[in-house]
């Protein structure tokens, strides 16, 4: 169900005009809210499954390069968010959102460097750092506000045997 939520959020995010406030190639990362919830409440394997499904969807809809970029950034982000949720009890959602957004961007930059065979993509790092801080703060804040409702929904679904 969280994968469906992530794909829906990704689709809705695609409807937002990029030129309005985001640098070229950057996304708000709303689908990361579903991955962060999975990492915080269900663990690494479910969060990784959401990440893999998002990457597969990117590959099917936008091609193999999109799959590699989505998978590399998504998995690094998932590892970072899981470890922060698991081992850093005093780290808030906003900081975890920022750390996961920055690690997602770094994973994508690393994948771009490997795919192109040079480090030229790293020149885009300053732009992605700024956008990662902003978008990570937003997604972390949205998750913080949504967690009570998501936990209630999860409890309801698990109680009905649908979880």
Assign 89 to helix, strand or coil.
Answer: coil
| Res 158 pLDDT > 70 | no
Buried/exposed code over 135-149 (b: 16+ C-beta within 10 A; e: otherwise): bbbbbbebbeebbee
With cut-offs at 50, 70 and 90, classify the pLDDT of residue 30: confident
- Cα separation, 151 vs 155, in Å, equals 6
* Assigned token pair, 82: 């899981």
Show Cβ contacts of residue 114 under 8 Å, excluding neighbours closer than 6 positions.
none
| Domain limits, the chain | 2-12+29-159
Q: What is the pLDDT of residue 163?
A: 53
More confident residue, 163 or 9: 9
Q: Mean pLDDT of all residues in the chain?
A: 87
């Amino acid at each position: 169900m969280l994968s469906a939520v992530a794909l829906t959020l990704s689709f809705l995010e695609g409807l937002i005009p990029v030129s309005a406030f985001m640098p070229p190639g950057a996304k708000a990362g709303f689908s990361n809210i579903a991955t962060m919830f999975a990492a915080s409440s269900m663990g690494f394997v479910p969060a990784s499954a959401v990440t893999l499904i998002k990457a597969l969807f990117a590959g099917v809809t936008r091609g193999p390069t999109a799959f590699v970029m989505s998978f590399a950034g998504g998995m690094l982000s998932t590892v970072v968010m899981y470890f922060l949720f698991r081992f850093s009890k005093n780290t808030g959602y906003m900081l975890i959102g920022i750390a996961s957004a920055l690690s997602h961007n770094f994973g994508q930059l690393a994948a771009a460097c490997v795919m192109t065979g040079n480090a030229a993509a790293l020149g885009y790092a300053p732009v992605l750092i700024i956008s990662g801080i902003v978008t990570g703060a937003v997604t972390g804040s949205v998750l913080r506000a949504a967690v009570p409702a998501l936990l209630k929904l999860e409890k309801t679904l698990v109680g009905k045997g649908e979880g």
